[in-house]
Amino acid sequence: MEHVVPGRPSALSLRLLQVLEPSGGGSGRHFLDLCRGLHARGHHVEAVYSPVRAEDGFVRELKAIGLPAVHAVDMKRAPGPSDIGCFLELRRIMRSNRFDIIHGHSSKAGALTRLRLPGRDVPRLYTPHAFRTLDPTLGRGGRLIYGTIEWALARFFTDHLICVSEDEYSHALSLHMPEKRMSVIVNGVAPPSPDMAQTIRASFGIAPDAFVFGFIGRLSRQKAPERLIAAFKSVAASVKNSHLVMVGSGELEASLRTAIAESGLQNRMHLTSAFTGPQAVPAFDLLLMPSRYEAMSYVMLEGAAAGKPIIATDIGGARTIIEDGHNGFILPNSDDTSLLARTMVRAAEAKTFDALSAAAETLKARFTLPVMLDQTEALYRRVSAKKQAEIAFQPAG
Protein backbone atom coordinates (compact mmCIF):
# COMPACT_ATOMS: atom_id res chain seq x y z
CA MET A 1 0.00 0.00 0.00
CA GLU A 2 1.27 3.44 -0.93
CA HIS A 3 2.31 5.54 2.05
CA VAL A 4 1.23 9.16 2.18
CA VAL A 5 2.52 11.48 4.90
CA PRO A 6 -0.55 12.65 6.89
CA GLY A 7 -1.48 16.27 6.36
CA ARG A 8 0.88 16.97 3.46
CA PRO A 9 -0.19 17.58 -0.16
CA SER A 10 0.48 14.54 -2.35
CA ALA A 11 2.98 14.70 -5.17
CA LEU A 12 0.20 14.14 -7.74
CA SER A 13 -3.11 15.84 -7.02
CA LEU A 14 -6.35 13.96 -7.74
CA ARG A 15 -9.64 15.49 -8.87
CA LEU A 16 -12.32 14.04 -6.62
CA LEU A 17 -16.12 14.29 -6.47
CA GLN A 18 -17.72 13.28 -3.14
CA VAL A 19 -21.52 12.76 -3.10
CA LEU A 20 -23.78 12.24 -0.07
CA GLU A 21 -27.56 12.19 0.46
CA PRO A 22 -28.22 12.02 4.27
CA SER A 23 -25.98 15.03 5.09
CA GLY A 24 -25.81 14.30 8.81
CA GLY A 25 -25.05 11.61 11.39
CA GLY A 26 -22.08 9.29 11.03
CA SER A 27 -22.08 9.32 7.23
CA GLY A 28 -22.07 13.13 7.35
CA ARG A 29 -19.12 13.15 9.76
CA HIS A 30 -17.19 10.76 7.52
CA PHE A 31 -18.00 12.89 4.46
CA LEU A 32 -16.80 16.11 6.13
CA ASP A 33 -13.61 14.48 7.41
CA LEU A 34 -12.85 13.04 3.99
CA CYS A 35 -13.50 16.30 2.13
CA ARG A 36 -11.53 18.38 4.63
CA GLY A 37 -8.62 15.93 4.92
CA LEU A 38 -8.17 15.34 1.19
CA HIS A 39 -8.53 19.06 0.44
CA ALA A 40 -5.79 19.77 3.01
CA ARG A 41 -3.53 17.26 1.25
CA GLY A 42 -3.72 19.27 -1.95
CA HIS A 43 -6.38 17.39 -3.91
CA HIS A 44 -9.13 19.10 -5.92
CA VAL A 45 -12.27 18.08 -4.02
CA GLU A 46 -15.82 18.99 -4.98
CA ALA A 47 -18.80 17.98 -2.83
CA VAL A 48 -22.46 17.25 -3.57
CA TYR A 49 -24.97 17.16 -0.72
CA SER A 50 -28.75 17.05 -0.45
CA PRO A 51 -30.46 19.93 1.40
CA VAL A 52 -33.58 17.77 1.90
CA ARG A 53 -32.34 16.09 5.09
CA ALA A 54 -29.27 18.27 5.70
CA GLU A 55 -28.53 19.42 9.22
CA ASP A 56 -27.68 23.14 9.49
CA GLY A 57 -24.38 22.42 11.21
CA PHE A 58 -23.37 20.02 8.46
CA VAL A 59 -23.96 22.59 5.72
CA ARG A 60 -22.07 25.31 7.58
CA GLU A 61 -19.13 23.02 8.22
CA LEU A 62 -19.02 21.77 4.63
CA LYS A 63 -19.04 25.28 3.18
CA ALA A 64 -16.41 26.43 5.66
CA ILE A 65 -13.85 23.90 4.37
CA GLY A 66 -13.14 26.09 1.34
CA LEU A 67 -13.62 23.50 -1.41
CA PRO A 68 -13.48 24.68 -5.05
CA ALA A 69 -17.20 23.87 -5.40
CA VAL A 70 -20.08 22.65 -3.23
CA HIS A 71 -23.21 21.54 -5.12
CA ALA A 72 -26.73 21.10 -3.69
CA VAL A 73 -28.91 18.41 -5.32
CA ASP A 74 -32.33 17.63 -3.82
CA MET A 75 -31.89 13.88 -3.36
CA LYS A 76 -34.55 12.20 -1.23
CA ARG A 77 -34.10 9.08 0.86
CA ALA A 78 -37.02 7.13 -0.62
CA PRO A 79 -37.05 6.13 -4.31
CA GLY A 80 -39.37 8.24 -6.46
CA PRO A 81 -39.85 10.23 -9.68
CA SER A 82 -37.58 13.01 -8.39
CA ASP A 83 -34.63 10.62 -8.74
CA ILE A 84 -34.68 11.20 -12.51
CA GLY A 85 -34.00 14.92 -12.12
CA CYS A 86 -31.35 14.24 -9.48
CA PHE A 87 -29.64 11.73 -11.75
CA LEU A 88 -29.54 14.23 -14.61
CA GLU A 89 -28.19 16.99 -12.36
CA LEU A 90 -25.51 14.69 -10.95
CA ARG A 91 -24.55 13.62 -14.46
CA ARG A 92 -24.17 17.28 -15.44
CA ILE A 93 -21.87 17.88 -12.44
CA MET A 94 -19.87 14.73 -13.12
CA ARG A 95 -19.34 15.77 -16.75
CA SER A 96 -18.46 19.37 -15.88
CA ASN A 97 -14.99 18.48 -14.63
CA ARG A 98 -12.38 15.87 -15.44
CA PHE A 99 -12.64 13.92 -12.20
CA ASP A 100 -10.32 11.03 -11.42
CA ILE A 101 -12.67 9.47 -8.85
CA ILE A 102 -16.41 9.75 -8.15
CA HIS A 103 -17.25 8.52 -4.65
CA GLY A 104 -20.89 7.99 -3.61
CA HIS A 105 -21.82 7.68 0.07
CA SER A 106 -25.01 5.99 1.37
CA SER A 107 -27.52 4.05 -0.72
CA LYS A 108 -29.25 6.85 -2.66
CA ALA A 109 -26.13 8.81 -3.62
CA GLY A 110 -24.33 5.53 -4.21
CA ALA A 111 -26.97 4.38 -6.70
CA LEU A 112 -27.36 7.68 -8.54
CA THR A 113 -23.61 8.18 -8.99
CA ARG A 114 -22.95 4.63 -10.17
CA LEU A 115 -25.75 4.09 -12.71
CA ARG A 116 -24.44 4.69 -16.23
CA LEU A 117 -24.10 3.15 -19.67
CA PRO A 118 -21.15 0.83 -20.38
CA GLY A 119 -17.99 2.37 -21.79
CA ARG A 120 -14.98 4.40 -20.79
CA ASP A 121 -15.81 6.22 -17.60
CA VAL A 122 -14.49 7.74 -14.39
CA PRO A 123 -14.06 5.11 -11.62
CA ARG A 124 -17.08 4.94 -9.32
CA LEU A 125 -16.54 4.08 -5.64
CA TYR A 126 -19.24 3.40 -3.08
CA THR A 127 -19.33 3.47 0.72
CA PRO A 128 -22.72 2.19 2.03
CA HIS A 129 -22.38 3.40 5.63
CA ALA A 130 -24.58 0.42 6.66
CA PHE A 131 -26.31 -1.62 4.00
CA ARG A 132 -30.09 -1.47 4.25
CA THR A 133 -30.01 -5.26 4.49
CA LEU A 134 -28.18 -5.04 7.83
CA ASP A 135 -31.49 -4.01 9.45
CA PRO A 136 -32.68 -7.15 11.30
CA THR A 137 -36.30 -5.91 11.11
CA LEU A 138 -36.29 -5.68 7.31
CA GLY A 139 -37.84 -9.10 6.72
CA ARG A 140 -37.04 -11.75 4.14
CA GLY A 141 -38.79 -9.98 1.23
CA GLY A 142 -37.14 -6.64 1.92
CA ARG A 143 -33.74 -8.27 2.31
CA LEU A 144 -34.20 -10.02 -1.04
CA ILE A 145 -35.21 -6.80 -2.85
CA TYR A 146 -32.57 -4.53 -1.36
CA GLY A 147 -29.93 -7.24 -1.46
CA THR A 148 -30.54 -7.86 -5.16
CA ILE A 149 -30.29 -4.14 -5.94
CA GLU A 150 -27.05 -3.79 -3.98
CA TRP A 151 -25.62 -6.92 -5.61
CA ALA A 152 -26.47 -5.71 -9.13
CA LEU A 153 -24.99 -2.27 -8.54
CA ALA A 154 -21.84 -3.77 -7.00
CA ARG A 155 -21.45 -6.38 -9.72
CA PHE A 156 -22.05 -4.27 -12.80
CA PHE A 157 -21.53 -0.60 -11.91
CA THR A 158 -18.98 -0.36 -9.10
CA ASP A 159 -15.21 -0.11 -9.54
CA HIS A 160 -14.63 -0.46 -5.80
CA LEU A 161 -16.76 -0.82 -2.68
CA ILE A 162 -15.48 0.40 0.69
CA CYS A 163 -16.78 -1.27 3.85
CA VAL A 164 -16.23 0.53 7.16
CA SER A 165 -15.91 -2.61 9.29
CA GLU A 166 -15.12 -6.30 8.99
CA ASP A 167 -18.76 -7.01 9.89
CA GLU A 168 -20.01 -4.97 6.94
CA TYR A 169 -17.45 -6.67 4.69
CA SER A 170 -18.68 -10.11 5.76
CA HIS A 171 -22.25 -9.00 5.14
CA ALA A 172 -21.32 -7.82 1.64
CA LEU A 173 -19.80 -11.23 0.93
CA SER A 174 -23.02 -12.88 2.12
CA LEU A 175 -24.81 -10.86 -0.59
CA HIS A 176 -22.33 -12.28 -3.15
CA MET A 177 -20.65 -8.98 -3.93
CA PRO A 178 -17.31 -9.16 -5.80
CA GLU A 179 -14.60 -9.74 -3.20
CA LYS A 180 -11.78 -8.54 -5.46
CA ARG A 181 -13.37 -5.10 -5.70
CA MET A 182 -13.95 -4.55 -1.98
CA SER A 183 -11.81 -3.17 0.85
CA VAL A 184 -12.22 -2.44 4.54
CA ILE A 185 -11.26 1.07 5.64
CA VAL A 186 -12.32 1.74 9.21
CA ASN A 187 -13.46 5.30 9.92
CA GLY A 188 -10.96 7.46 11.78
CA VAL A 189 -11.52 10.24 14.29
CA ALA A 190 -9.58 12.96 16.06
CA PRO A 191 -9.51 12.54 19.87
CA PRO A 192 -12.44 14.51 21.35
CA SER A 193 -11.48 17.57 23.39
CA PRO A 194 -12.39 17.39 27.10
CA ASP A 195 -12.99 21.17 27.29
CA MET A 196 -16.81 20.94 27.42
CA ALA A 197 -17.08 18.02 29.85
CA GLN A 198 -17.71 19.96 33.04
CA THR A 199 -19.88 22.52 31.25
CA ILE A 200 -22.16 19.75 29.98
CA ARG A 201 -22.43 18.13 33.41
CA ALA A 202 -23.11 21.49 35.07
CA SER A 203 -25.84 22.31 32.54
CA PHE A 204 -27.84 19.38 33.93
CA GLY A 205 -26.87 19.92 37.56
CA ILE A 206 -24.75 16.75 37.58
CA ALA A 207 -22.10 16.67 40.29
CA PRO A 208 -18.45 16.16 39.23
CA ASP A 209 -18.29 12.87 41.17
CA ALA A 210 -21.54 11.43 39.71
CA PHE A 211 -21.40 8.40 37.41
CA VAL A 212 -22.69 9.32 33.94
CA PHE A 213 -23.97 6.77 31.45
CA GLY A 214 -24.06 8.41 28.01
CA PHE A 215 -25.76 7.90 24.67
CA ILE A 216 -25.16 9.82 21.42
CA GLY A 217 -27.12 9.25 18.24
CA ARG A 218 -30.26 9.77 16.23
CA LEU A 219 -33.40 9.18 18.26
CA SER A 220 -34.58 6.49 15.87
CA ARG A 221 -35.60 2.86 15.99
CA GLN A 222 -32.22 1.82 14.58
CA LYS A 223 -30.38 3.35 17.54
CA ALA A 224 -32.88 1.92 20.10
CA PRO A 225 -32.64 4.70 22.71
CA GLU A 226 -35.84 3.45 24.37
CA ARG A 227 -33.86 0.43 25.58
CA LEU A 228 -31.72 2.73 27.73
CA ILE A 229 -34.66 4.40 29.44
CA ALA A 230 -36.11 1.01 30.31
CA ALA A 231 -32.74 -0.25 31.59
CA PHE A 232 -31.91 2.88 33.59
CA LYS A 233 -35.13 2.54 35.62
CA SER A 234 -33.50 -0.53 37.19
CA VAL A 235 -29.97 0.85 37.23
CA ALA A 236 -30.91 4.04 39.09
CA ALA A 237 -31.89 2.09 42.20
CA SER A 238 -28.55 0.23 42.34
CA VAL A 239 -26.13 2.93 41.20
CA LYS A 240 -27.28 5.73 43.47
CA ASN A 241 -25.15 8.59 42.20
CA SER A 242 -25.78 7.94 38.51
CA HIS A 243 -27.28 9.83 35.57
CA LEU A 244 -28.23 8.99 32.00
CA VAL A 245 -27.42 11.69 29.43
CA MET A 246 -28.81 11.19 25.92
CA VAL A 247 -27.57 13.47 23.14
CA GLY A 248 -29.48 13.52 19.87
CA SER A 249 -32.68 14.34 18.04
CA GLY A 250 -35.08 12.44 15.80
CA GLU A 251 -38.51 10.98 15.32
CA LEU A 252 -38.61 9.26 18.74
CA GLU A 253 -37.87 12.43 20.72
CA ALA A 254 -41.47 13.11 21.82
CA SER A 255 -42.09 9.54 22.99
CA LEU A 256 -38.75 9.44 24.82
CA ARG A 257 -39.49 12.68 26.65
CA THR A 258 -42.86 11.26 27.67
CA ALA A 259 -41.19 8.08 28.95
CA ILE A 260 -38.68 10.12 30.95
CA ALA A 261 -41.45 12.26 32.46
CA GLU A 262 -43.43 9.16 33.45
CA SER A 263 -40.38 7.42 34.96
CA GLY A 264 -40.13 9.68 37.98
CA LEU A 265 -36.42 10.05 37.20
CA GLN A 266 -36.58 13.40 35.40
CA ASN A 267 -33.71 14.72 37.53
CA ARG A 268 -31.44 11.84 36.53
CA MET A 269 -32.33 11.25 32.86
CA HIS A 270 -31.45 14.10 30.50
CA LEU A 271 -32.17 14.47 26.78
CA THR A 272 -30.57 17.22 24.68
CA SER A 273 -29.46 18.11 21.17
CA ALA A 274 -27.47 21.15 22.27
CA PHE A 275 -24.08 19.44 22.03
CA THR A 276 -22.18 17.47 19.41
CA GLY A 277 -20.90 13.96 19.97
CA PRO A 278 -17.23 14.98 20.28
CA GLN A 279 -18.23 17.66 22.80
CA ALA A 280 -20.40 15.31 24.85
CA VAL A 281 -18.46 12.04 25.04
CA PRO A 282 -15.73 13.33 27.43
CA ALA A 283 -18.52 14.18 29.91
CA PHE A 284 -19.48 10.50 30.15
CA ASP A 285 -17.97 7.82 32.33
CA LEU A 286 -19.29 5.05 30.12
CA LEU A 287 -20.74 5.07 26.60
CA LEU A 288 -23.84 3.03 25.74
CA MET A 289 -24.57 1.77 22.20
CA PRO A 290 -27.88 -0.19 22.25
CA SER A 291 -28.40 -0.04 18.44
CA ARG A 292 -30.31 -2.68 16.51
CA TYR A 293 -27.80 -2.45 13.64
CA GLU A 294 -24.76 -0.43 12.54
CA ALA A 295 -21.92 -0.69 10.02
CA MET A 296 -19.29 1.20 12.04
CA SER A 297 -20.58 3.88 14.36
CA TYR A 298 -18.67 7.16 14.59
CA VAL A 299 -19.98 7.51 18.13
CA MET A 300 -18.29 4.24 19.06
CA LEU A 301 -15.04 5.44 17.51
CA GLU A 302 -15.28 8.76 19.34
CA GLY A 303 -15.90 6.93 22.61
CA ALA A 304 -12.87 4.74 21.99
CA ALA A 305 -10.73 7.75 21.03
CA ALA A 306 -11.75 9.44 24.29
CA GLY A 307 -10.66 6.37 26.26
CA LYS A 308 -14.18 5.53 27.45
CA PRO A 309 -15.42 2.01 28.26
CA ILE A 310 -18.30 1.01 25.99
CA ILE A 311 -21.31 -1.26 26.37
CA ALA A 312 -22.77 -2.16 22.97
CA THR A 313 -25.06 -4.67 21.38
CA ASP A 314 -23.42 -7.12 18.98
CA ILE A 315 -23.61 -4.76 16.00
CA GLY A 316 -21.30 -4.00 13.09
CA GLY A 317 -17.96 -2.68 14.31
CA ALA A 318 -18.48 -3.61 17.95
CA ARG A 319 -15.92 -6.41 17.89
CA THR A 320 -13.49 -4.14 16.04
CA ILE A 321 -13.58 -1.60 18.86
CA ILE A 322 -14.51 -3.58 21.98
CA GLU A 323 -12.61 -6.46 23.52
CA ASP A 324 -15.43 -8.00 25.49
CA GLY A 325 -14.75 -7.81 29.21
CA HIS A 326 -11.56 -5.78 28.66
CA ASN A 327 -12.49 -2.25 27.55
CA GLY A 328 -16.24 -2.82 27.53
CA PHE A 329 -18.98 -5.38 27.06
CA ILE A 330 -20.78 -6.75 23.99
CA LEU A 331 -24.38 -7.86 24.57
CA PRO A 332 -26.91 -9.83 22.51
CA ASN A 333 -29.10 -7.63 20.32
CA SER A 334 -32.38 -7.93 22.21
CA ASP A 335 -35.28 -5.77 23.39
CA ASP A 336 -35.08 -7.59 26.74
CA THR A 337 -33.24 -4.89 28.70
CA SER A 338 -32.62 -6.87 31.89
CA LEU A 339 -29.14 -8.01 30.80
CA LEU A 340 -28.31 -4.47 29.69
CA ALA A 341 -29.32 -3.13 33.10
CA ARG A 342 -27.26 -5.75 34.96
CA THR A 343 -24.23 -5.03 32.79
CA MET A 344 -24.53 -1.29 33.41
CA VAL A 345 -24.59 -1.92 37.16
CA ARG A 346 -21.60 -4.25 36.91
CA ALA A 347 -19.61 -1.78 34.81
CA ALA A 348 -20.23 1.02 37.31
CA GLU A 349 -18.74 -0.96 40.22
CA ALA A 350 -15.50 0.74 41.21
CA LYS A 351 -13.11 -2.18 40.66
CA THR A 352 -14.65 -3.17 37.31
CA PHE A 353 -14.88 0.40 36.07
CA ASP A 354 -11.25 1.14 36.93
CA ALA A 355 -10.11 -1.93 34.98
CA LEU A 356 -12.31 -1.09 31.98
CA SER A 357 -11.11 2.53 31.96
CA ALA A 358 -7.44 1.57 32.14
CA ALA A 359 -7.86 -0.79 29.19
CA ALA A 360 -9.82 1.78 27.19
CA GLU A 361 -7.10 4.36 27.77
CA THR A 362 -4.39 2.09 26.36
CA LEU A 363 -6.42 1.33 23.20
CA LYS A 364 -7.62 4.81 22.31
CA ALA A 365 -5.08 5.61 19.55
CA ARG A 366 -5.99 2.72 17.22
CA PHE A 367 -8.39 4.48 14.84
CA THR A 368 -7.10 7.89 13.83
CA LEU A 369 -8.13 10.20 11.03
CA PRO A 370 -4.70 10.25 9.29
CA VAL A 371 -4.75 6.45 8.99
CA MET A 372 -8.20 6.54 7.32
CA LEU A 373 -7.05 9.28 4.93
CA ASP A 374 -3.85 7.41 4.06
CA GLN A 375 -5.78 4.26 3.19
CA THR A 376 -8.49 6.08 1.22
CA GLU A 377 -5.98 8.14 -0.74
CA ALA A 378 -3.92 5.07 -1.60
CA LEU A 379 -7.07 3.24 -2.76
CA TYR A 380 -8.08 6.19 -4.97
CA ARG A 381 -4.67 6.15 -6.64
CA ARG A 382 -4.75 2.40 -7.14
CA VAL A 383 -8.27 2.39 -8.66
CA SER A 384 -7.51 5.41 -10.86
CA ALA A 385 -4.27 3.85 -12.14
CA LYS A 386 -6.06 0.57 -12.89
CA LYS A 387 -8.76 2.37 -14.86
CA GLN A 388 -6.17 4.31 -16.85
CA ALA A 389 -4.34 1.07 -17.65
CA GLU A 390 -7.59 -0.54 -18.85
CA ILE A 391 -8.35 2.43 -21.11
CA ALA A 392 -4.84 2.38 -22.55
CA PHE A 393 -5.27 -1.23 -23.65
CA GLN A 394 -8.72 -0.70 -25.18
CA PRO A 395 -8.85 -0.13 -28.95
CA ALA A 396 -10.06 3.27 -29.97
CA GLY A 397 -13.74 3.16 -30.84
**Domain residue limits, the chain:** 15-188+368-393, 194-362
pLDDT digits (tens, 9 = 90+) for 268-309: 999 999 998 899 999 999 999 999 988 788 899 999 999 999
Q: Which comes out higher in pLDDT, residue 13 or 12?
A: 13
pLDDT band at 25 (very low <50, low <70, confident <90, very high): confident
With a CB cutoff of 8 Å and minimum separation 6, the contacts of 265 are 232, 233, 236
pLDDT band at 11 (very low <50, low <70, confident <90, very high): low
Asked if 351 and 166 count as a contact pair (C-beta separation under 8 A), the reply is: no
% of the chain beyond a pLDDT of 70 = 96
Residue 387 CB coordination number (10 Å): 18
194-362 — its CATH code?
3.40.50.2000
Q: What pLDDT is stored for residue 394 in this prediction? A: 66
Residue 8 pLDDT > 50: no
Q: What pLDDT is stored for residue 396 in this prediction? A: 57
State whether residue 243 is helix, strand or coil.
strand
Q: What pLDDT is stored for residue 37 in this prediction? A: 97
Q: What pLDDT is stored for residue 4 in this prediction? A: 36
Asked if 29 and 305 count as a contact pair (C-beta separation under 8 A), the reply is: no
Rounded-to-integer distance, Cα 35 and Cα 61, Å: 11
CA nearest neighbour of 111 among 16, 179, 20, 14? 20
> Could you check whether 15-188+368-393 and 194-362 share the same CATH topology?
yes
Rounded-to-integer distance, Cα 300 and Cα 288, Å: 9
Looking at the DSSP bridge assignments, the partners of residue 340 are none
CATH classification (class only), 15-188+368-393:
alpha beta
Rounded-to-integer distance, Cα 51 and Cα 49, Å: 7
